[in-house]
Amino acid sequence: MKTGTKRGRPRKFDEDETLDQIMQVFWKNGYAATSLDQIAEVTGLNRPSLYSAFGSKKDMYLTIVDRFADRMHIYLREAGGKATGVRPRLKAILAAAIDLYTGQTELNGAPYGCLAISTLQTEAVQDAEFREALDAVITRMDKGIASLIRHETQGSMAETDIKEAAQHLALILHGLSIRARAGEAPGVLKALAESAVDKIVPASTGN
């Protein structure tokens, strides 16, 4: 007679790769228009396997939003680190975001805009968890931009001005995401982004 706990069958898929596949489906279609059948087809996993590994469709989506936010944060931080000065760094970050939004990075090959801004806003109206997720993404963006401005200006801007500038630039990012998803050309978006940085961040703070 056999004793002991029966072990489950080992997973035969790469979890990170599968999450990236799921991310692409939600990024393209949004939450409501994405079906579990679509996810199953893209990942090659049946519904029981998907539920076992990632939970419900809602669980998958919220996981994907967090995953996207983390990866975007790293991607934009690296882009900003390649420039010097507050304006050049902000312009580099916005340009990198536009590349992402227009499908010119390894994260995505299609002009779907920002996954969070493009897909969360509709769901946030009716669902508190989605609203919290959207608020978390926006707050993280505001704080990240403010931190960069604060570091680069070294006391030459008042804290209220730093926060306001960061929020304005975050609004620019949101708008760029919408325009990218609508098919606006990357060059046009980058010109708008550079102009916005010059208008929002005072020249007296240095370049």
Residue-averaged pLDDT of the chain = 92
Q: What's residue 207's pLDDT? A: 61
* Helix/strand/coil percent split, the chain, to 5: 70, 0, 30
Q: Which CATH architecture has domain 62-205?
A: Orthogonal Bundle (1.10)
Instruction: Assess contact for 101 and 113: CB atoms under 8 A.
Output: yes
Residue 91: partners with Cβ closer than 8 Å, 6 or more residues away: 83, 193, 194, 197
Q: What is the pLDDT of residues 103-128, one digit of tens each?
A: 999 999 999 999 999 999 989 999 99
Alpha carbon distances (Å) from 154 to 7, 31, 146: 57, 42, 12
Give the residue from 172, 63, 174 showing the smallest Cα distance to 113: 174
List the Cα angle 19/101/136 in 5-degree steps: 65
The structure tokens listed for 84 are: 């010097």
Kindly report, residue by residue over 149-167, the tens digit of the pLDDT: 999 999 999 999 999 999 9
The answer to whether 69 touches 116, Cβ cutoff 8 Å, is yes
pTM of the model: 0.89
